[in-house]
Structure 1
């Protein structure tokens, strides 16, 4: 339905996460080791996670529609 589609397209967390990690890593030239890159991405993740506090818009309506469409795989708490 429209509410489900809107939620998926407006809250693409993967793209948002990638954009923020890319913003941090693009300013660094070369990483001496893979471990250095992993550490930078982990530290970036910790900072990004703190900013993601906003709840999803219209989640109640969307959750109800998901429960109707995928009743056996989606449970409303």
Structure 2
């Protein structure tokens, strides 16, 4: 219906999902390395860092690396935008908060068709 639509998955949700599979003793170091991916200045730099992440952690946490690679196109759309826009796209929390407010209002209202 909207052929030019770009989908940006929430980085925060991807990180949270990844951390479920990382041993607690490795989480701090893993996050330091992962931050180089999602905080990179450009998509090319991010992809290089994703390769570095795979080299270092891929054998120990293949499920996590596969998830980042599989979702990469939808996780990396925000790199094409300026920094202020990236901050908005970085997480879906603002959108989710807005939807929560709408649901709170509409949930208590009766349908006009009843």
Task: Give me the TM-score of the superposition, normalised by structure 2.
Answer: 0.24
Relative contact order, higher structure (CA 8 A, sep 6+): 1
